[in-house]
Chain A
Amino acid sequence: MPIIETENLSKVYPVAVKEPGLQGTLLHFLRRTYRSIEAVKQVSFQIQPGEVVGFLGANGAGKTTTLKMLTGLIHPSAGRVRVAEHIPFRRKAAFLQQITLVMGQKQQVIWDLPALDSLKIHAARSGIPDKASGERVGELTEMLSLHGKLNQPVRKLSLGERMKAELMAALLHHPKVLFLDEPTLGLDVNAQVGVREFLREYNKRYGATILLTSHYMADITALCQRVLVIHQGQLIYDGGLDQLLDNFAPYREVQLELAHPMSEAELSLYGEIEAVEGQSVRLCVQREALTRSVAKILAELEVLDLTVTDPPIEEVIGRVFSAGGVS
């Protein structure tokens, strides 16, 4: 039985429109006009317990609005949604005990106090006895490597540590369903890896279901077997990550810093050229040929620096969309 289920879920927002200039301002004051924005249009999907699903979409595609409907923060305009056998918008205590939403970094913990004070509030609020809460804090401190950080004011922590403290507060009640909106946004590479590893471990240890949005392809590839792609409020892809990448992003980007400039003709032997600026070169290399190509580049060229990156998520989504989607 699915733990998350939506059927034709939709959300329409009224938004006030204003023309520029003085005339527009006066009209806006005297006779305000509204336009309806369809943020989410008839989205249907199911997620089984224990799944880790990536939720992809460009800015304004409707990801956050969907997450808000799934957690019960906002009331759907139409359609049906059930999470952990509850109707989210009713926000019954039994439902709230089973879910969590992580959105940004100034949400769960009180900024001016040490995280431990906020964690105490969380524990009391969720009815976790002192002993159990102490054990959970210990366990999560271990998993998140936050030793010695919990007794200083949150505002004095680094961005990565704050994100971890947020996660800790959000997970203290051991929720079964995690909704994570950009959990690694703004973190450096090490902190990103730390958060990813933690989420993978949490999913394994507690069999938790995770739905996460991210701008970093690496988050998705590291954690998710399945992805949902949303574009202009509509679900345009629901399926395996591998299939998505094979079909719509079958290449990776190789960035080179060469010791000497080279001609495009010479470079084209190693991959499809995207851009050349002096000694900086960007090449497109097919996924299956990546190891071979990189080995060849390192063996034959004098390279100062080499990085391999995924194509940006927007580009992948653009390709899925222009291909008409696969559902």
Chain B
Amino acid sequence: MSSVIRKARVLLVAYYAYMLEYRAELFLWALSGSLPLILMGVWTKAAQGGQFGLSPLDFIRYFLTVFIIRQFTVVWVIWEFEKEVIEGRLSPRLLQPLDPVWHHVASHLAERFARLPFMLALVVLFFMLYPQAFWVPKLGNFLLFLIAVISAFTLRFLIQYTFAIFAFWTERASAIESFWFLLYLFLSGLIAPLQMFPAPVREVVLWTPFPYLVHFPAALLIGLPVDLVQGFLVILGWGVLFFVLNRWLWRRGLKQYSGMGA
């Protein structure tokens, strides 16, 4: 156990140092996730004129929360992994007594910590500009939100890493992610809260993994109605499915791997 903690600590510290090497890049990445803030403006304006079931203030809080969730759930493992496979840089990692995925997990987690101050600064700035949007969520909701965000990151990482393994066969696995991202964009609640979807569509979408990557945690934090049991069960179901698929593809993929370029 202590050796696992030591490995985790050393990896996190090293990748934290790595992330901090490029301060400007980190800030720009944090800013590049501001699509929800733009959408906030659009929806707030629309809410002032129409009947959406959500008030302009709800929209502001929803999209601010979406912004925060996106900061915590950004995943880029597919581009890194694809490069490693194509350039053969996966080879040395395969020869170390540690599954290569832990390098990616560590770099993602370390990046979250490195990004945190920028993100907090942006949120504080936001509330200074719009003090009327400020609210204090209930403690229970806040804790559920934390669990939901961690679950959302885990699921998104797992799904993208599973796609990434296709790099053993196609060498352009990131194309799968580009297609998937389109679905994610529309069905996750990133562009509009699920409340805006027609009821039959919403019922179907709630069985896919997408709304649990953005809408579900956001709704929890701002207090929109959600089905907690269904929510966590769907996350678990998709998580198990992708985990099994991931390990199966990994074993098949390694037999396919030719260690190109190295």
Interface residue ranges, A against B (CB under 8 Å) = 13, 68, 71-75, 91, 93, 96-97, 99-101, 103-104, 106-108, 110, 112-113, 117-118, 120-127, 153
Identify whether the interface residues of A are mostly helix, strand, loop, or mixed: mixed
**B17 A113 Cβ-Cβ under 8 A:** yes
List 26 A–B pairs whose Cβ atoms lie within 8 Å, in order of A's numbering: A68-B91, A68-B259, A73-B94, A73-B95, A74-B259, A75-B257, A93-B97, A96-B95, A96-B97, A101-B91, A101-B95, A103-B91, A103-B92, A107-B91, A107-B262, A108-B92, A112-B21, A113-B18, A121-B10, A121-B14, A124-B7, A124-B9, A124-B11, A125-B98, A126-B97, A127-B97
Interface residue ranges, B against A (CB under 8 Å) = 3, 6-7, 9-11, 13-14, 17-18, 21-22, 89, 91-92, 94-98, 254-255, 257-259, 262
Chain B residue nearest in CB terms to A110 = B18
Residues of chain B contacted by A106 (CB below 8 angstroms): 89
**A97 B97 Cβ-Cβ under 8 A:** yes
Expressed in whole angstroms, the Cα–Cα distance for A275 and B6 within the complex equals 63
A91 with B89, Cβ < 8 A, contacts A13-B258, A127-B3 known: no
Q: Give min CB distance, A68 to chain B, whole Å.
A: 5
Chain A residue nearest in CB terms to B257 = A74
Residues of chain B contacted by A73 (CB below 8 angstroms): 91, 94-95, 257, 259
Residues of chain A contacted by B21 (CB below 8 angstroms): 112-113, 153
Identify whether the interface residues of B are mostly helix, strand, loop, or mixed: helix
**A125 B7 Cβ-Cβ under 8 A:** yes
Residues of chain B contacted by A91 (CB below 8 angstroms): 94-95
Chain B residue nearest in CB terms to A91 = B94
Residues of chain B contacted by A127 (CB below 8 angstroms): 3, 97
With A68-B91, A68-B259, A74-B257 given, can you name 18 additional A-B contacts, CB distance below 8 Å?
A13-B258, A73-B91, A73-B259, A103-B262, A107-B89, A107-B91, A108-B92, A112-B21, A112-B22, A117-B14, A117-B17, A121-B11, A123-B10, A124-B3, A124-B7, A124-B11, A125-B96, A125-B98
**A120 B95 Cβ-Cβ under 8 A:** no
Residues of chain A contacted by B9 (CB below 8 angstroms): 124
Interface centre among B9, B21, B91, by most A CB within 10 Å?
B91
Closest CB pairs A-B (n = 8):
A124-B10, A93-B97, A107-B92, A96-B97, A125-B98, A75-B255, A124-B7, A117-B14
Residues of chain A contacted by B255 (CB below 8 angstroms): 75
Expressed in whole angstroms, the Cα–Cα distance for A127 and B6 within the complex equals 9
**A110 B14 Cβ-Cβ under 8 A:** yes
Selected contact of B95 from candidates A100, A113, A124, A153, CB within 8 Å: A100
Residues of chain B contacted by A117 (CB below 8 angstroms): 13-14, 17
Residues of chain A contacted by B17 (CB below 8 angstroms): 113, 117
**B14 A113 Cβ-Cβ under 8 A:** yes
Expressed in whole angstroms, the Cα–Cα distance for A3 and B90 within the complex equals 26
Expressed in whole angstroms, the Cα–Cα distance for A108 and B96 within the complex equals 10
Chain A residue nearest in CB terms to B10 = A124
Expressed in whole angstroms, the Cα–Cα distance for A75 and B256 within the complex equals 8
Residues of chain B contacted by A71 (CB below 8 angstroms): 95
**B258 A112 Cβ-Cβ under 8 A:** no
Q: Give min CB distance, B102 to chain A, whole Å.
A: 9
Residues of chain B contacted by A118 (CB below 8 angstroms): 14
Q: Give min CB distance, A4 to chain B, whole Å.
A: 15
**A112 B18 Cβ-Cβ under 8 A:** yes
Q: Give min CB distance, A185 to chain B, whole Å.
A: 13
**A125 B97 Cβ-Cβ under 8 A:** yes
Chain A residue nearest in CB terms to B106 = A121
Residues of chain A contacted by B10 (CB below 8 angstroms): 120-121, 123-124
Q: Give min CB distance, B105 to chain A, whole Å.
A: 13
